[in-house]
Amino acid sequence: MIAARHALSAPRIEALLDELLEVEFTFRQTADAAARLATLDADTQHFMIDWIKRVASTNLELGYQVACRAVAALDAMPRQMIEEWALRAMDVYDRKGLRPALLVIEGLDAFASEQRARARGAVLERCEGVLQGVLHGLSGRALKVEAAARIYTDSEKIFLPQLLAQLPSEAENFSLYKVSAVFQWARTRFGGFSALRRAGVLEGEATPGLLALFHRLEGLRLEGILSRELPGLYRELTLLGRNPAVAVEPPSQWAPWRSRLMEAGVSADDVLALARRQLGRLHGWRAPLYYGEPDREALRACMEARIEREKGRFRVALAEIQSELRGDHPRGAPLRFGQRPVGERGDPQEAQIEILLDDQPLALPPEVQRTLGSIIQDLDALPQEYLSAAGAGEYDAEREGEERCAGESVWSGTYHEEGASLYPEWDYRRKHYRKEWCAMREIDVEPVHDGFAEQTLVKYGGLVKHLRKSFEALRDEERLLRRQPHGDGVDIDALVEALAEMRLGREMSDRLFTRMHRSERNIAAAFMVDMSGSTKGWINDAEREALVLLCEALESLGDRYAIYGFSSNTRKRCELFRIKRFDEPYGAGVRARISGIRPRDYTRMGFAIRHLTRLLNETDARTRILITLSDGKPDDYDNYRGVYGIEDTRRALIEARRARVHPYCITIDELARDYLPHLYGPAAYTVLNEVSALPLKVSDIYRRLTS
Amino acid sequence: MEAKTIHIDEYIITREPFYQSTGDEIAIFEAAYANHLPVLLKGPTGCGKTRFMEYMAWRLRRPLITVSCHDDLTASDLVGRYLVRGGETVWIDGPLTQAVRAGGICYLDEVVEARKDTMVVIHPLADDRRVLPIEKLGTLVEAPAEFCLSISYNPGYQSVLKDLKQSTRQRFVALEFDYPGPGPGLEAEIVAAESGLEREMAARLVQFAGMTRNLKGGGLEEGASTRLLVHAAKLIASGVSPVSACRGAIAQALTDDPEMLAAVNELSASLF
Ligand SMILES: Nc1ncnc2c1ncn2[C@@H]1O[C@H](COP(=O)(O)OP(=O)(O)OP(=O)(O)O)[C@@H](O)[C@H]1O
Ligand SMILES: [Mg+2]
* Residue B3 reports pLDDT greater than 50: no
Domain end, chosen from B125, B141, B176, is at B176
Q: What residues in chain B have their Cβ under 8 A from chain A's Cβ atoms?
A: 1, 3, 71, 74-76, 81-84, 86-87, 89, 115, 159-160, 182-184, 210-212, 214-215, 218-219, 243, 259-260, 262-264, 266-272
Q: Tell me which ligand sits closest to the C-alpha of residue B224.
A: 1
pLDDT surpassing 90 at residue A150: yes
| Residues B193, B170 share a domain | no
pLDDT band at A559 (very low <50, low <70, confident <90, very high): confident
**Ligand 1 atom 12 nearest Cα:** B227
Name the residue among A491, A496, A542, A501 with its Cα closest to residue A667.
A542
User: What distance in Å separates residue B25's CA from the closest CA in chain A?
Assistant: 18
Q: Are A478 and A516 in contact (CB under 8 A)?
A: yes
CA of A502 relative to ligand 2 center, distance in Å: 44
CA-based nearest distance A126→chain B, Å? 10
**Alpha-carbon Rg for chain B in angstroms:** 21
DSSP A564: E
Give yes or no for residue B91 CB within 6 A of ligand 1.
Answer: no
Say whether residue A583 is in contact with chain B using an 8 A CB cutoff.
yes
Interface with B, mutate which of A229, A488, A581 (most B CBs under 10 A): A488
DSSP-assigned letter for residue A420: P
SS3 B163: coil
pLDDT of residue A367: 81
Q: Which residue of A has its CA nearest to B158?
A: A583
| HSE toward the beta carbon, residue B173, CA cutoff 13 A | 17
Distance CA A222, CA A195 (A): 14
pLDDT top residue among A468 and B17: B17
The answer to whether residues B143 and B213 belong to one domain is: no
CA dihedral B190, B196, B201, B202 (to 10 degrees): -10
Contact, A146 vs A269, CB < 8 A? no
pLDDT of B104 above 70: yes
Do β-strands A662-667 and A421-427 pair in parallel, antiparallel, or remain unpaired? unpaired
In this structure, the answer to whether residues B197 and B63 fall within a common structural domain is: no
**B83 and B196 housed in the same domain:** no
Are B168 and B201 members of one domain?
no
Cα–Cα distance measured from residue B153 to residue B40, given in angstroms and rounded to the nearest whole number: 7
Domain range for B222 is 185-271
Q: Is the pLDDT of residue B223 over 70?
A: yes
Taking a C-beta distance cutoff of 8 angstroms, is the pair B69, B113 a contact? yes
Side-chain half-sphere of A245: how many Cα atoms within 13 Å?
A: 8
Q: Give pLDDT, residue B203.
A: 93
Does B271 have pLDDT greater than 90? yes
Residues A356 and A336: their CA atoms lie apart, in Å, by 8
Handedness of CA B174, B175, B181, B182 (dihedral sign): positive
Hey, how many other C-beta atoms are within 10 angstroms of the C-beta on A383? 10
**pLDDT of the residue at A332:** 66
Give DSSP secondary structure letters for A505-559. Answer: TPPPPS--EEEEEEE---EEEEEEEE-SGGGTTHHHHHHHHHHHHHHHHHHHHT-
Instruction: Pick the closest to residue A585 from A562, A553, A565, A614 (CA basis).
Output: A562
Alpha carbon separation from A555 to A474, A627, A628, A701 (Å, rounded): 12, 17, 19, 16
B208 lines ligand 1 (CB under 6 A): no
pLDDT of residue A518: 65
A346, HSE (Cβ side, Cα atoms, 13 Å): 2
The answer to pTM > 0.90 is no
In this prediction, residues A70-97 reach a mean pLDDT of: 91
Q: Are A616 and A624 in contact (CB under 8 A)?
A: yes
Average pLDDT, chain A: 86
Q: Indicate which residue's Cα is closest to atom 29 of ligand 1.
A: B227
Q: How far is the CA of B52 from the centre of ligand 1 (A)?
A: 8
Q: Cα A299 vs. chain centroid, distance in angstroms?
A: 26
Ligand 1 mutation target, pool B21, B29, B40, B47, most atoms within 8 A of CB: B47
Select from B71, B83, B263 the Cβ nearest to the Cβ of A134: B263
CA A5 to chain centre: 46
Q: Answer whether residue A385 shows pLDDT above 80.
A: yes
For residue B50, how far is its CA from the centre of ligand 2 (angstroms)? Answer: 4
Of all ligands present, the nearest one to the C-alpha of B42 is 1
* Cα–Cα distance measured from residue B54 to residue A432, given in angstroms and rounded to the nearest whole number: 61
Look at residues B113, B210, B212 and name the one whose alpha carbon lies nearest to residue B157.
B113
Closest to B267 (Cβ–Cβ): which among A129, A134, A488? A134
| Mean pLDDT within A540-545 | 90
User: How far apart, in whole angstroms, are the C-alpha atoms of residue A182 and residue A237?
Assistant: 10
Domains of chain A, by residue range, sit at 10-120, 122-294, 299-387, 479-517, 523-706
Q: If pLDDT is split at 50, 70 and 90, which confidence band does A658 have? A: confident
At A235, which helix (H) or strand (E)?
helix A231-241
| pLDDT > 70? residue B151 | yes
Q: Does B104 share its domain with B21?
A: yes
Please report the beta strands in B7-130, taking only residues with DSSP state E, as ranges in sequence order.
39-42, 64-68, 80-85, 88-93, 105-109
List the one residue out of A671, A558, A651 whose CA is nearest residue A610.
A651
Q: How far is B1 from chain A (nearest CA, A)?
A: 8
8 Å CB contact between A183 and A140: no
CATH number for position B100: 3.40.50.300
Are residue B138 and residue B253 in the same domain, yes or no?
A: no
Closest residue to A130, CB basis, from B81, B87, B262:
B262
Nearest chain B Cα distance for residue A415, angstroms: 29
What pLDDT shows up at residue A407?
38
Nearest to B229 by CA among B207, B255, B214: B207
Q: Are A600 and A532 in contact (CB under 8 A)?
A: yes
Partner residue facing B259 (CB), from A129, A137, A178: A129
Q: Which chain B positions have a beta carbon within 8 Å of A617's beta carbon?
A: none
B31 and B161 both lie in a single domain = yes
**The total number of residues written for chain A in this structure:** 707
Burial class (CB in 10 A: 0-12, 13-18, 19+), A538: exposed
Q: Indicate whether residue B247 lines ligand 1 (CB < 6 A).
A: no
CATH of domain A523-706: 3.40.50.410
Looking at per-residue pLDDT, the higher value among B44 and B115 belongs to B44
**Average pLDDT in chain B:** 88
CA geometry: angle A603, A605, A606, nearest 5 deg: 150
- Phi first, then psi: give them for residue A578, nearest 5 degrees: -75, 125
Q: Which ligand is nearest to the CA of B226?
A: 1
What phi and psi, each to the nearest 5 degrees, are found at residue B146?
Answer: -75, -20
In this complex, is the C-beta atom of A512 within 8 Å of any C-beta atom belonging to chain B?
yes
Amino acid at site A626: L
Residue in chain A closest to B73 (alpha carbons) equals A517
Closest Cα partner for A457 from A538, A536, A546? A546
Q: What are phi and psi of B65, to 5 degrees?
A: -115, 115
Pairing mode of beta strands A163-164, A122-123: antiparallel
DSSP A50-100: HHHHHHHHH-HHHHHHHHHHHHHHHHHS-HHHHHHHHHHHHHHHHHH-HHH
Of the residues B176, B206, B240, which one is the last residue of a structural domain? B176
Note whether A325 contacts B: Cβ–Cβ < 8 A: no
To the nearest whole percent, how much of chain A has pLDDT over 90?
46
pLDDT, tens digit, 9 for 90 and up, residues B253-268: 998 888 899 999 999 9
Is pLDDT above 50 for B130? yes
B87 and A130 within 8 Å at the Cβ level: the answer is no
Lowest-confidence region among A389-403, A445-459, A666-680: A389-403
Q: Is A341 on the interface with B (CB under 8 A)?
A: no
Nearest Cα of chain A lies from the Cα of B180 at a distance, in angstroms, of 14
**Of A376, A361, A241, nearest in space to A306 by CA:** A376
Q: Which of B176, B200, B235 is the last residue of a domain?
A: B176
| Whole-angstrom distance, CA of residue A75 vs CA of residue A107 | 14
pLDDT band for position A413 (cuts 50, 70, 90): very low
> Alpha carbon A130 to chain centroid distance?
15
Could you identify the atom of ligand 1 that is nearest to the CA of residue B51?
A: 18
Ligand 1: does its nearest atom lie under 6 Å from the Cβ of B244? no
Whether A415 shows a pLDDT value over 70: the answer reads no
Q: Is the dihedral of CA B211, B212, B217, B222 positive or negative?
A: negative
Domain tally for chain B?
Answer: 2
Lowest mean pLDDT among A210-214, A300-304, A620-624: A620-624
Q: First and final CA of chain A: distance in angstroms?
A: 48
> Which of A606, A688, A620 lies closest to A655 in space, CA to CA?
A606
Q: d(Cα B56, Cα A542) in Å, to the nearest integer?
A: 62
Could you give the CA distance from residue A367 to residue A355 in angstroms, rounded to a whole number? Answer: 14
pLDDT, residue B2, reads 41
Which residue of chain B is at minimal alpha-carbon distance from A522? B161
Q: How many CA atoms lie within 13 A of A476 on its CB side?
A: 13
- Is residue A187 within 8 Å of residue A218, measured between CB atoms? yes
Mind giving me the DSSP string for A289-313?
A: GGG----HHHHHHHHHHHHHHHHHH
Structure confidence at residue A94 (pLDDT): 87
Is residue A239 within 8 A of residue A250, CB to CB? The reply is no
